[in-house]
Structure 1
């Protein structure tokens, strides 16, 4: 009976072949349309259940870190039933420790669990020794960049490039498919006080007195070490509090005869960028990178087109000609 019914369907489709071709053609067209519109991602969606908890304990030995920070931290983390104890490991060294935490395989909403752990750690910090500076959690290992945009110019410095990157990032965040925008490779501006030790010794002033004078004015200095008889020693100063001229005019010494010694008498004050820690180049030019992430469920091809269209509009209307976007 079933064979006869199947043969009837086949016979009907052969007799009405025009309608059959029409249905097949419509399905083919819908398939091509769906191939273009279906969600596409550069990387497959997966759940990464691993995170790291870092504790900072300045001045403590590895044994003190292990006894006073790592053990209480592990005990607290193991109070969460979602934490897989067998896969959680810790390492400690002088002044710092890290605990690699892995959640159970049956955890579906890892963001909710990590939010609960972070919230609990904020209260747990008060039970740790006073010397513990901070406990930080990082659980965003699964976030990947969908696009990298290089913003470079030979005419503008890093401070201006950062402003342009903020402008571009704010505009790109208006796209519904953009989830996160991060700026990478921006070198922070600083003011350096470069001390001439010959002048400093001629006035009978020590380097510590100069550092104390700068600190008294609310300027944060970065301490370092001096070896040998070097003439110049840079002291890094936060540029957010003072300009070069104000720092140069600061009085570091005065006596009863109203004779004063200012910073400019014993040092050079310069504004610039510290490139010793590294920087990013594109086509041989220093640049700043904008990292873009895509919301799950979107089409990476259409995502790229939307970003390119937005960048073209920004470049034409809001950026100078000597700023390039790649």
Structure 2
């Protein structure tokens, strides 16, 4: 090793060439490294989405989800399976073990589901896919004095234009429900025209279609036979013929039903930005896309868009690159501060030229790390930036040790070349050991499994690679620069140098030397002192004087408020209460503005959905550097101003965190009643803890039910449960007749009762059940009664209605 060091010192052009190559290739490597918020990792999650329209959570659980889980239990490579069953749909999440490939397990999961043949007949095909690791790049809202339909049209145009930009692939829209065509009937009209839902559905299905009938093969050309009678809008379905009367009159769909294009009644999704109806456009970046490139292109696009549009304006809600840019600025500032401190203090005690060469080692080491990073698929993210901030101090320390050793050898009277060789070799083993120890310590992060291991291994890679190049730079490049620097030239010391030299000598002789002598003469006492200090430190941890946390609280610039009302609550009631909280937030902002002279709340995004009883607020605050009030103080003020929300099952005021909630407890069990009891007991105990707030659970309560069962003699009329519930479902839930493709939107055509005929218990009781022979019976028939165990003609059904009304709600 000594010969290599000597060669680089004697021939400095070699070291300079190596430095230039590292800086040059490091620059190109940096240009090829993508920027993301979190480290790029392979997705270890497989998602299974199932839709069974009109089903209850119990039906989803028993008929679909349980069967999927049972078939997946025997597969190797699966770490954990979790599922959620809700109204009309269910989802199963499969977590893949860390040492298995997700794509292989995905194929095994698909094969397992293909073997299930007992899914309910009305279930839509299951959607199975590997969930991508996507990060938010930027989101913005489109709003203006137009209706929601027009806003959606503008948003679709924006979506298409953004996707045409190179480097942007994931663009999604939110804030509006799906579109549908509703064909609604009144019960009186069905009776008047002697029609059934099945007849109407069949007529639409057989008339509104596009079908090929073959070809006519002529001598000169072939002619395609086609029927193009498929329409895509409600007004074009009006003339469909349902039946002909004995008098020869055609009964058209418009004679009996109301046909209209509308937003899906089952989807209450709405978004408001600062109380204005809005459509949210979200742009995400994949692991192969650069977040800075995306946000820059989107901002350029929005600037032009707002300049060219007067009706609809775009407002940026959140920029995912801001936090990353702040970390980069912090890194640059730390690097500059570190370099300045090195230059100043080394200049005071040694020579300013030594300090400059030590400071230059920082960018050289980082550029070397970027060379390796570009080959290993590294990305610039908050974790890798943290590793770079962490390693700066180590880089400076190693350079200072080597530079000081060389300077010390020079002061002994050696020539610059020999001083550089001897000074480097004197401390190189110690520097190598220190770097090796740090490398070994950080390499342990590679043995952590799961998502946490993926995150910390990214930081370890940065630290290890930077330290490797710091060893190369410190052993080969730095000594060559110092040996040929004017720092190793004899000259008269300046007044500042004499002062600092005298100060160091005084500190060494007056303070350090006596303490060192005392420690060497009283070894036992010295050891006891340090053991006592260690025990005191442990006591501070145990006594709570020094508090611990896995991840420290980081002041954020956004708040989230979410409420969940009792299942079945109408969207207008839920919307009323979330708007009440929004009004309270703006009132808090007014009070804070009076006190501090500026707005603390910049914008509020109000979201309704995904169910009629769920809603949330995303509150964007003034930047932390400009905001004199802490985010949790604003959150508590809004909570106090809004007060209690009557009947709400869950209300939470959260400060966003990438690491989830402060406390999260999972309860596992096979008996749902026992789980519910344990959940309530745990919530009650946790609510008593003053340090906790917003104790909520993720258990979704289903809608209240009306149970329908047949009486024993109903079979005399030829009725079965399927006959009864089939007609009830057609009228109240609806029958999906068709799916029409309008551009990229899939529009469902529904046939059902008009809303005024399916909004109360009396509507259900007065519904007519139609038999195959044409006879009709009220669902709740009171013409005959059960008396003395004699069952007469028309007592068909029993209704078991439990708690159908909420106190205080209409």
TM-score (normalised: structure 2): 0.29
Partner of 1:230: none
The question of whether the paired residues in 2 share the 8 Å contact of 1:56 and 1:96 is answered with: yes
Q: Does 2:31 correspond to 1:41?
A: no
SS in 1 for 2:281: strand
Is there any run of 5+ residues in structure 1 with no aligned partner, and where?
Answer: 14-19, 221-239
Q: Does 2:310 correspond to 1:321?
A: yes
The question of whether the paired residues in 2 share the 8 Å contact of 1:168 and 1:311 is answered with: no
Partner of 1:51: 46
Deviations 1:12-35 (A, max 9, x none): x9xxxxxx9xx9xxx8xx999999
Measure the CA separation in 2 of the matches of 1:283 and 1:260: 52
Q: Does 2:93 correspond to 1:104?
A: no
The question of whether the paired residues in 1 share the 8 Å contact of 2:49 and 2:91 is answered with: yes
How big is the shift at 1:196?
A: 4.8
Partner of 1:213: 200
The question of whether the paired residues in 1 share the 8 Å contact of 2:231 and 2:237 is answered with: no
SS in 1 for 2:294: helix
Deviations 1:24-80 (A, max 9, x none): xxx8xx99999999643333434552334355678799699659874575445633x
Measure the CA separation in 2 of the matches of 1:47 and 1:161: 36
RMSD: 5.0
For residue 137 of structure 1, the aligned residue among 113, 121, 128 is 128
Partner of 2:270: 279
| Aligned CA distance change for structure 1 residues 266 and 167 (closer, same or farther; 3 Å) | closer
SS in 2 for 1:145: strand
Deviations 1:232-253 (A, max 9, x none): xxxxxxxx84544444444445
Further displaced range: 62-71 or 241-250:
62-71
Deviations 1:257-301 (A, max 9, x none): 234544444444433334662212223332322221124366534
The question of whether the paired residues in 1 share the 8 Å contact of 2:241 and 2:253 is answered with: yes
Q: Does 2:141 correspond to 1:150?
A: yes
Partner of 1:290: 281
The question of whether the paired residues in 1 share the 8 Å contact of 2:57 and 2:85 is answered with: no
Is there any run of 5+ residues in structure 2 with no aligned partner, and where?
Answer: 208-229, 316-810
| Aligned CA distance change for structure 1 residues 259 and 35 (closer, same or farther; 3 Å) | closer
Higher relative contact order (CA 8 A, sep 6+): 1
Q: Does 2:291 correspond to 1:304?
A: no
- Aligned pair count reads 283
Measure the CA separation in 2 of the matches of 1:94 and 1:188: 17
Measure the CA separation in 2 of the matches of 1:252 and 1:39: 61
Measure the CA separation in 1 of the matches of 2:304 and 2:87: 51
| Aligned CA distance change for structure 1 residues 154 and 51 (closer, same or farther; 3 Å) | same
Higher-Rg structure is: 2
SS in 2 for 1:325: strand
How big is the shift at 1:308?
A: 1.2
Partner of 1:204: 192
| Aligned CA distance change for structure 1 residues 248 and 281 (closer, same or farther; 3 Å) | same
Partner of 2:437: none
| Aligned CA distance change for structure 1 residues 264 and 50 (closer, same or farther; 3 Å) | closer
For residue 172 of structure 1, the aligned residue among 145, 162, 170 is 162
SS in 2 for 1:102: strand
- Structure (1 or 2) with the greater helix fraction: 2
Measure the CA separation in 2 of the matches of 1:39 and 1:321: 36
How big is the shift at 1:82?
A: 2.4
SS in 2 for 1:321: coil
Measure the CA separation in 2 of the matches of 1:92 and 1:277: 19
Further displaced range: 168-177 or 92-101:
92-101
The question of whether the paired residues in 2 share the 8 Å contact of 1:70 and 1:92 is answered with: no
| Aligned CA distance change for structure 1 residues 287 and 89 (closer, same or farther; 3 Å) | closer
